[in-house]
Chains A and B, each alone.
Chain A
Amino acid sequence: MFELSFGKMDNPVVKTSDFGGLSCEDLSELCVNKIIEVADGAPSVVREQAKFFQKQVQKTIFEYLKQAKESERATCIQICVQGGEQDAANLLRKV
C-alpha cells in the first residue's frame, strides 16, 4: 500500500594528500560545497550566478584558512621557543 524508497547513493568524493595535510585549496573547496549546493537542474542563469557566488565564498574561506594555518603555526613556534626547542621552532618557521 505504501512504498518507501531510499534515495540514490552517489559515489563518494575522496580527497588525499601526500607528505602532509590537505591544502587550503582542497579544504576551501570541501567547505564551500557543504555551504552552497548548485542543483544540476536549476535554470542556467541561476546556476551561473550560484557558481559565481560559490567561487567568491571559496576565495574568502581560502584566505581565512591560510591565516588560520599561519596563526596556528605562530602559536606552535612560540610553544617551542618557550620550551627551549629552538631547532623545532626553526623547522616550523621553514614550513
Chain B
Amino acid sequence: MAFTTTVMPTSFKVEILKGVHNFSASSGQTFKLALYNNSASFTAATTAYTTTNEVAASGSYAVGGGALTKVTPTSSGTTALTDFSDLSFTTATITAFGALIYNDTATGNPAVAVLNFGGAKTSTAGTFTIVFPAATATGAIIRIV
C-alpha cells in the first residue's frame, strides 16, 4: 500500500468523452487537490475522491484539500492542454506522499489525476507547495496530443 505512480485514471478518460469535466477558468467546474499518506494506494483504476488515508487538516489545509486555479484549455501546435496554478498550504504541519486531483463539482467527485511525490514530503508549521509544470505543449499537467 503506497503511492507507486503518477497516472491519469481510466475513468477520467471515459468522462472526458462524456463531457463530465469543464476546465474553463471562468465558467468551469471546481477542481481540488487532496493530500494523502503512504497508506493510500491509488492507481489508474481509481475513480473518485476519498477521505480514506487523506492527511489531517492543518494550517490552511482542510479535509477535501485545496481548490485549484485553472488555466483555460488551449492549444499549442496540435496539442490541447490545460493546467493549474501552483497550490500552497500555509502554516501547515503535513507529511504527504502523493495527491489526488478531483472534480469537486461533478457528482461523485470523480478523479482527474493521481500524483506521486516520489517519497515523503514534509512541512512543519510551514508552507507546503505543489508545483505544477508550465502550461506548454510538452509540460502541462493534462495534454491531449
Contacts and interface: CB of A to CB of B under 8 A. Distances in A.
Interface string B127-145: 1111111101011111111
Given A16-B123, A21-B126, 19 more contacts: A5-B145, A6-B144, A7-B79, A7-B143, A9-B8, A9-B142, A11-B115, A12-B130, A12-B133, A12-B141, A14-B117, A14-B128, A16-B126, A17-B126, A18-B124, A22-B129, A30-B86, A34-B134, A37-B136
Interface residues of B toward A: which range?
35 or more
Interface of B: 6-8, 13, 79, 81, 86, 88, 90, 94, 96, 99, 113, 115-118, 121-134, 136, 138-145
A16 B128 contact: yes
Specify which of B7, B8, B127, B133 lies most central, judged by the most chain A CB atoms within 10 Å of its CB. B127
Nearest to B129: A15
Interface of A: 4-7, 9-22, 30, 33-34, 37, 39
Contacts of B124: 18-19
A9 B8 CA distance: 8
For the complex, would chain B's binding face be called helix, strand, loop or mixed by DSSP majority?
Answer: strand
Given A6-B8, A21-B126, A12 B131 contact: yes
Given A30-B129, A33-B134, A18 B118 contact: no
A22 B79 contact: no
A37 B134 contact: yes
B142 A6 contact: yes
15 contacts: A6-B144, A9-B7, A10-B6, A11-B116, A12-B6, A12-B99, A14-B96, A16-B94, A17-B123, A17-B126, A18-B125, A19-B124, A22-B129, A30-B129, A37-B139
